Structure 1
């Protein structure tokens, strides 16, 4: 369950990061054409990409890292040959079953790959610890901040102030209860609390016109549910704490939130009123002591930020209809690009990281639950039974080792018990390597007819041969296929060469045998 959640989080991080970076790259153009309200809404769009799996398809990064796969498509019956009772059969001749100690000598960097495989299963737990710590830290800071406000705050007794607030709510069409407090712990007006909203005023002299301007600013925050957006950013920051892009987005949301609020305040103001609004903000600037920890919306924060706000506010112009339509088109294109790009990045990342799992288990694995294993036991299937059937139906044929001069098997047929997922992992083939493996000739293991020659992203170039009597063999990750579908072959015919196509980063041959759609152990028949 935790690993599934972690996979989703990784995929969402890819999607959210992509759309955020795209918005930053487009900023030199968009900031000259569009207003700050558009910028704020696009930030919210990026926030949604961090929360919702919009347009993200394919495997997550964690799947690509931990469960790399490549095998021919088979019916579910293919896994029914897997039992707890699988026992290793004696191998004669010069075939070598590689041990973990030997594996490190197969390809450069194998020790590193194995170490990463050991670490990767613990990443979901590391992520969970970080997320819980982040939630607890932010929650504690907010609770402490709100308690201090309530403890030090006093109810506003001046009825004129309440009248101004109610008049502002009526003018702006705002409903809902907002509690007014004054406190000497705040130096600028602020709105806080998503369920029980507080509007906290500093204990300083403010005239009625300034109060009306302050209320208009804070009521716009309330009406737009900006406190919900900021709370959401804290949650996303906790979930994606490992992603540096989320911190850039958080800062961008805070900035664009205030700038867009200023735009709405001055939208219908005269130049004189805009100057007065700017003076009100400057008056509050001298009362700012330090940034508070919590979820709130303020009128004034930092000197640099206020200078920028004043400049943009005085230059504000309403968007024309053409610009508004253009802004919608750009937003739709960004959304589409984010959806398509997120899926592409997810799949591409899976391929880029595939080498971590390709060497020890480069072919398709299936996860079997304990109930699946019990059903198989009841059915009485086993690889030994499959071997007997094949030996009987092909008693007059001779099996040929499928790779020229290479006899090291670094991944065997069968199951193992996954220590983290607590399930059986099934491998339906053997993977063969050895000295000179790259480009080595691949032989048909038995006489038959080529049934399929194709390529896909996971299996690479592959060949399937039908040997009759329900017997099929397959050969994956070939560099080159030298036969075509329908060609007859005899045991020992060269059908291709070993490569590393598909999701494999080192050359090897994945060889498997099926009997009536059921995977059986190739080593039962490939006895020297």
Structure 2
């Protein structure tokens, strides 16, 4: 909460800084106009520094993005700001610390936390200073004498000022002459009538919030000068131009005193006497044209600066297909067509993913960062440049780049056109000769949802996590399933004798009843199943596989009664070339194809065996799971794609998945604590998803920015309460 508030204040401060610079420029252009117009412009600055949102308009004059710092920047692999000013974005973004692949906290999270603490300390210091200043001032006013109405005279006072909010009081030096008193009193009453005393207090508190921004300090003092000068001009207009010399003399006589400190929020006095005297002496009644120009300038600039730029269609948080191939380098033999080209997904935090037409899973290509190129530099990436590419490049307004850091030095350029269309260039960053191989025109096929995600996970039915379509574990309530489990264990123990514990898991594909082969009248049942047998060893508190087999089997039992089954035949397929034909001959035709697909069941079966072995040996696998995740995250450190880390450690990842429910419990506990937004979160989410799918849970095709986001989307239906 503290860090989020700090980032919002930073966004308002950046936007406010741009408005301050514009107001300072307009203030210079309005130097001959009445100061009330310059003073009115500072209300726009106040609005921008206080209000985190505004209305949108196509006529907005705001020169920067109103939210330059993304709210999730601390979790980004490559943190970037988007002010809309390319040079600023490049310098600042390049100095931001990136995510550490297997660290639990990103470095930027630490810096933002420390910055928020410093920010709060600064606010506290300014407020305490203000309170002490106010108490000191009140001690000086203890001998003040009431004159009339809300006017007080004080002998020890050198500068007039207003103090209070709901019932403001005017304090005047007792030494003022009658004429001076009239001028100064009218000036202070004008302040109160225009509610300047309230504006000044609000401005001070805004200054406390944005104390770290030097432009806000400049705005605070410049707006104070315009406030005083506009009040002086109001006095001259009311009393007439003939009082300018006497009024200036009164200001000069008060300038020798000690001014009220600006850090006292409930009291403000007069400042910049020299500038005010010069403004009073040079003040002339403005002509109609000057007033009209000043009014229009303030109105247009004020409304333009208050409005946010009208947001176009955001190209992030969406899935794209290739709508048209604008360019294909002729020197390469392999090419895409619209039907064979991959799909692309751009997440809300500018991470690019790709999925080939033959794949089911998305592959992370890398984080996009703004990459400005001149038009000639863009043309130079093509050899040769055709007309279609040329026409589309001329419409590009912003370019983002992602680097795959592979042996081909692959680069991806995502180009946003002025009309909102998106191009994608795939090329190679060869030293001194970068080249584009393909240029695609993309078409959005999945719109972002309310959370900025393209695609959501949803349960396909009412099955909870941990269940499968064909349960591999023995069903305690089914005597036949118990007989099958016992037969698998008994048959294989004679083949494998090297383990401390044996486990089995099977999926029954079909069962057929028949007559007794002995003529006794007792029936038979043949169970066709996919069976896994595994043996495990326990050494040093850990768990290891020592042997096993996975194959289709046909078990024929004689049924003595409904609860008693005696094994008559344990059939296994032939080895070698006879494997497939023997299965087709033995198994019913409708299930023979499934019996040949051992991979369909292997993962669920292995997980079931592992879970039995862990429970039997009372193995504490929590530390083992943590070590496996750490090992997977350790390399390759230069890659941003979580799949690359999994591919680099297939044995560790396989074991992580095989731990099944224990891995789910470990990962879900961490996800429940929150904050798993780094590489570890991605690895845990991938493992949990594989485990749950092996156990029968179904997911829509989807993509999430972080592992934590994935968990948050499925926890309500997939995590047991």
Say which of 181, 188, 194 aligns to 1:218.
Answer: 188
Higher relative contact order (CA 8 A, sep 6+): 1
Q: Deviations over 1:473-524 (max 9, x none)?
A: 24434999xxxxxxxxxxxxx9x97337579xx9855366895325699xxx
**Residues 154 and 22 from structure 1, CA distance in 2 versus in 1: closer, same or farther, beyond 3 angstroms?**
same
- Structure 2 equivalent of residue 155 of structure 1: 146
**Residues 472 and 325 from structure 1, CA distance in 2 versus in 1: closer, same or farther, beyond 3 angstroms?**
farther
Say which of 249, 262, 281 aligns to 2:219.
Answer: 249
Q: Deviations over 1:188-211 (max 9, x none)?
A: 32221112322112122522x333
- Structure 1 equivalent of residue 167 of structure 2: 196
Contact 2:12 2:50 in 1 (8 A): yes
Q: Distance in 2 between matches of 1:17 and 1:196?
A: 34
Say which of 403, 407, 411 aligns to 1:499.
Answer: 411
**Residues 454 and 116 from structure 1, CA distance in 2 versus in 1: closer, same or farther, beyond 3 angstroms?**
closer
Q: Distance in 2 between matches of 1:203 and 1:249?
A: 33
**Residues 115 and 220 from structure 1, CA distance in 2 versus in 1: closer, same or farther, beyond 3 angstroms?**
same
Question: Which has the greater radius of gyration?
Answer: 2
Tell me, yes or no, if structure 1 residue 327 matches structure 2 residue 288: no
- Structure 1 equivalent of residue 117 of structure 2: 125
Greater percentage in helix: 1
Contact 2:161 2:172 in 1 (8 A): yes
SS at 2:167 equivalent: coil
Deviation at 1:66, TM superposition (A): 0.8
* Range with greater deviation from structure 2 (48-57 or 455-464): 455-464
Contact 2:153 2:171 in 1 (8 A): yes
- Structure 2 equivalent of residue 159 of structure 1: none
- Structure 1 equivalent of residue 47 of structure 2: 48
Tell me, yes or no, if structure 1 residue 63 matches structure 2 residue 71: yes
- Structure 2 equivalent of residue 277 of structure 1: 247
Equivalence map 1:70-469=2 (5 Å)? 115-149=107-141, 151-156=142-147, 162=148, 178-204=149-175, 206-207=177-178, 209-286=179-256, 288-292=257-261, 294=264, 295-298=266-269, 301=271, 305-335=272-302, 338=305, 450=341, 452-453=343-344, 458-459=349-350, 462-467=353-358
Q: Distance in 2 between matches of 1:21 and 1:520?
A: 40
- Structure 2 equivalent of residue 18 of structure 1: 18
Q: Distance in 1 between matches of 2:639 and 2:11?
A: 30
SS at 2:362 equivalent: strand
Q: Distance in 2 between matches of 1:28 and 1:456?
A: 44
SS at 1:241 equivalent: coil
- Structure 2 equivalent of residue 516 of structure 1: 700
Normalising by the residue count of structure 2, what TM-score does the alignment of the two structures yield?
Answer: 0.41
Deviation at 1:285, TM superposition (A): 3.2
Cα root mean square deviation, aligned: 4.4
| Consecutive unaligned residues in structure 2, runs of 5 or more | 55-63, 79-98, 318-331, 369-380, 382-405, 416-636, 644-685, 690-698, 706-721
Q: Distance in 1 between matches of 2:348 and 2:704?
A: 25
Deviation at 1:223, TM superposition (A): 0.5
Q: Deviations over 1:119-168 (max 9, x none)?
A: 3333222212221222222123223323431x221223xxxxx3xxxxxx
* Range with greater deviation from structure 2 (5-14 or 51-60): 51-60
Q: Distance in 1 between matches of 2:2 and 2:306?
A: 25
Q: Distance in 2 between matches of 1:229 and 1:142?
A: 18
Deviation at 1:449, TM superposition (A): 5.3
SS at 1:248 equivalent: helix
- Structure 1 equivalent of residue 668 of structure 2: none
Deviation at 1:187, TM superposition (A): 1.0
Q: Distance in 2 between matches of 1:459 and 1:235?
A: 36
| Consecutive unaligned residues in structure 1, runs of 5 or more | 71-102, 157-161, 163-177, 348-362, 365-440, 481-493, 522-528
**Residues 340 and 464 from structure 1, CA distance in 2 versus in 1: closer, same or farther, beyond 3 angstroms?**
farther
Contact 1:451 1:465 in 2 (8 A): yes
Q: Distance in 2 between matches of 1:249 and 1:520?
A: 43
Tell me, yes or no, if structure 1 residue 473 matches structure 2 residue 362: yes
Q: Distance in 2 between matches of 1:16 and 1:463?
A: 39
Contact 1:69 1:458 in 2 (8 A): no
Q: Distance in 2 between matches of 1:280 and 1:216?
A: 13
**Residues 137 and 497 from structure 1, CA distance in 2 versus in 1: closer, same or farther, beyond 3 angstroms?**
same
Contact 2:341 2:357 in 1 (8 A): yes
**Residues 212 and 316 from structure 1, CA distance in 2 versus in 1: closer, same or farther, beyond 3 angstroms?**
same
**Residues 278 and 205 from structure 1, CA distance in 2 versus in 1: closer, same or farther, beyond 3 angstroms?**
closer
